[in-house]
Amino acid sequence: MDPISPTTLDDPLDPAREAVVAMLAERERNFSLPQAFYNDARLFALDMQEIFGKEWLFAGMTCEIPAKGNYMTLQVGDNPVILVRGDGGSIHAFHNVCRHRGSRLCVSDKGKVAKLVCPYHQWTYELDGRLLFAGSDMGENFDLSAYGLKPIHVRTGGGFIFISLAEQPPALDDFLLTLEHYLEPYEMGNLKVAVESNIVEQANWKLVLENNRECYHCNGSHPELLNSLQEFDDTDDPRATPAYKALVAQKQSDWDEQQIPWQLKRFGKRNRLTRTPLLDGVVSMTMDGKPACSKLMGRLTSPDMGSLRILHLPNSWNHFMGDHAIVFRVLPLGPQETLVTTKWLVHKDAVEGVDYKPEEMRRVWDATNAQDKRLAEENQRGINSKAYQPGPYSETYEFGVIDFIDWYSERMQENLGHSAPHLQVVKG
């Protein structure tokens, strides 16, 4: 029998790689994906290897680790990750794995430390990942420098932290520069997380993203959200009304006077930024449309900033208003299980109970998240049926979903190397 190696362990997925490339090459564009993409364990493993293992992922906000020694952790598939603030304001990302016997170093979601110390055998690491102490029992010739923590690519822009588990991640510079420009008015270093929620949806991560990328379902499902949100954010949208276009022109003039960026920016299909008005007379995503926080963010002088919408595929969408911001992070847990984290940000000097009430601030999106959870889970239950076959998207209402599925298909094929032989795929 051949010895087991990493290559050998990859072999069980080889037929899945071939099938994925074939199915994506033959899929009918503007249709949902074949069933296996939403519920098959082998395809989920490929998603984790080729998308979440190679693309840039939104991990958290720089304001969550404001000072030296602050850290936060997250889990990307089987890979525990730690983000820590080091000397000079630098942010490091490491595999949260001790180089001794592989135990997790940091077991809390967040905290503050002087050094990173493994709770198992007390191996001790500097905040930049260098191994400082391994005990005397390793022998006098033990080379500490050979056992530093394994780093992960990390980049920041506009207060966002992105990580990539890839050896050579894709380019991100242009998007980060644009984030810096668009979020400059918010002075992102002066924000804090006011409240956070975590919900687990019993649905494939792609269904969670698909649901987010359209508002076709909003009228029938999101009464709280539609107290403030426009169903579209682009005057070129075929559904855009004359009243919406007039409101946009008025608000864009106001934002220009305040030197607030608003132009629609796209970076392929991965990233999208645009500032768009909320409903006329509404300034925040609250039940009454009024500010949730009386202390505005950054250098903003008016709460009437509309919503700066920021998309980052594969795992984040965001809304920045004048008084507070809402950031979302998606992390797959299994073929039909997804963690959705929502964080509400306010000025760091805002006082809970005085400047804002968390329960009022979160009410709209708590309701919306619960509604989206139900929608995604019912979508998953239907897709699991033997009756499911790919169905057509509306190019008018679901163009965002089409863009997401196109991006996913392109990245999967490119990351898999386009090298699989043609396989016959039974459709329908």
Which domain CATH number covers 71? 2.102.10.10
pLDDT for 1 equals 36
Residue 428 has pLDDT above 80, yes or no: no
On whether both 320 and 366 belong to a single domain, the answer is yes
- 226 and 366 share one domain: yes
> Helix (H, G, I), strand (E, B), or coil: what is residue 339?
strand
Q: Cβ(343)–Cβ(317) under 8 Å?
A: no
Q: Which of 363, 383, 403 is the last residue of a domain?
A: 383
d(CA 127, CA 81): 14
Task: Flag whether pLDDT at 420 surpasses 70.
Answer: no
Q: Is residue 199 part of a domain?
A: yes
Query: What is the mean predicted confidence (pLDDT) over 407-412?
Result: 97
Is-contact 416 16, C-beta < 8 A?
no
What domain range includes position 372? 187-383
Together in a domain, 210 and 335: yes
Residues 193 and 276 in one domain: yes
Q: Is residue 43 part of a domain?
A: no
Measured CA to CA in angstroms, residue 88 lies from 67, 110, 423 at distances of 10, 20, 54
Q: What is the pLDDT of residue 288?
A: 97
Average pLDDT, the chain: 93
In the predicted model, what is the mean pLDDT of residues 116-120? 97
Q: Are residues 325 and 255 in the same domain?
A: yes
Looking at residue 418, its pLDDT comes to 59
Q: How confident is the model at residue 16 (pLDDT cuts 50, 70, 90)?
A: confident
Q: pLDDT tens digits, residue range 133-174?
A: 998 789 889 999 999 999 999 999 999 999 999 999 999 999
Q: Is the pLDDT of residue 101 over 50?
A: yes
Quick one: 197 and 245 in the same domain?
yes
Q: Are residues 366 and 248 in the same domain?
A: yes
In a domain, 79, yes or no: yes
Tell me the mean pLDDT in the region 118-143. 94
Residue 172 lies in a domain: no
Half-sphere exposure of 359 (CA within 13 A, CB side): 1
DSSP string for residues in 183-227:
HGGG-GGGEEEEEEEEEEESS-HHHHHHHHT--TTHHHH-TTGGG
| 280: its two tokens | 């006329």
In the predicted model, is pLDDT for residue 362 greater than 50? yes
Average pLDDT score over residue span 118-129: 97
**Does residue 37 lie in a domain region?**
no
Same-domain status, 152 and 200: no
Asked if pLDDT for residue 220 goes beyond 60, the answer is yes
Residue 28 counted as domain residue: no
Output the pLDDT for position 297.
98
- Cα 134 to its chain centre, rounded Å, is 36
More confident residue, 246 or 419: 246
* pLDDT of residue 50 exceeding 70: yes
Amino acid at 129: G
**Over the stretch 265-320, which tens digit does the pLDDT of each residue have?**
999 999 999 999 999 999 999 999 999 999 999 999 999 999 999 999 999 999 99
191 located within any domain: yes
CATH number of the domain that residue 230 is part of: 3.90.380.10
- Across 125-134, 138-147, 419-428, least confident range: 419-428
Q: Is residue 289 part of a domain?
A: yes
Check residue 8 and give its pLDDT.
Answer: 43
Q: Are residues 261 and 313 in the same domain?
A: yes
Structural domain ending residue among the three candidates 137, 158, 179: 158
**Residue 100: which region, alpha, beta or left (left: phi > 0; alpha: psi -120 to 50)?**
alpha
Q: Specify the pLDDT at position 176.
A: 98
Query: 285 and 224, same structural domain?
Result: yes
Q: Are 152 and 164 in contact (CB under 8 A)?
A: yes
Please indicate, yes or no, whether residues 370 and 247 belong to a single structural domain of this protein: yes
Total tally of structural domains belonging to the chain: 2
Question: Are 130 and 79 in a shared domain?
Answer: yes
